[in-house]
């Protein structure tokens, strides 16, 4: 006949294995969450880099238009971004439409031929990925 002390010893032996198993599961969970966060940051960084390249190209196009002294409104597409530029005197209103809509304003000095200010306006419908 099996005594009750033998049964309690079996439970005592399983206890460390359960703790080790839980520790391994928690460790793997932490690693997977860390990898997910890195991947998400990488995606956001790539999106930001792509938008920065679109911005650089747009600013160059706007400056070239100001240098003609008769700027014409611009509409063009770069990748997944549709860009619309409207000139009002020495100001360019820029609207980037793509995965999100971003508006910007650029002030230009035609006398010294340089950009005085470039501001991206905050939008309330921003993406918080």
Q: Is residue 107's pLDDT more than 90?
A: yes
Name the residue with tokens 């971004």.
Answer: 81
Q: What is the value of pTM for the model shown?
A: 0.70
Q: Which parts of the chain are beta strand (E)?
A: 74-78, 81-88, 91-97, 101-109, 114-121
pLDDT tens readout for residues 33-59? 999 999 999 999 999 999 999 999 999
Confidence category of residue 14, pLDDT binned at 50, 70, 90: confident
**C-alpha closest to that of 106 among 118, 114, 94:** 118
């Amino acid at each position: 006949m099996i005594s009750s002390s033998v049964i309690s010893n079996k439970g005592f032996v399983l206890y460390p294995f359960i703790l080790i198993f839980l520790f391994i599961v928690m460790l793997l969970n932490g690693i997977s969450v860390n990898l997910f966060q890195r991947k998400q940051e990488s995606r956001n960084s790539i999106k930001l880099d792509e938008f920065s390249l679109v911005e650089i190209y747009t600013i160059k196009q706007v400056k070239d238009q100001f240098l003609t002294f008769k700027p014409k409104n611009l509409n063009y597409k770069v990748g997944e971004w549709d860009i619309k530029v409207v000139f009002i005197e020495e100001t360019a209103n820029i609207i980037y439409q793509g995965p999100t809509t971003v508006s910007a304003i650029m002030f230009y000095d035609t006398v010294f031929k340089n950009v005085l200010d470039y501001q991206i306006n905050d939008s309330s419908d921003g993406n918080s990925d």
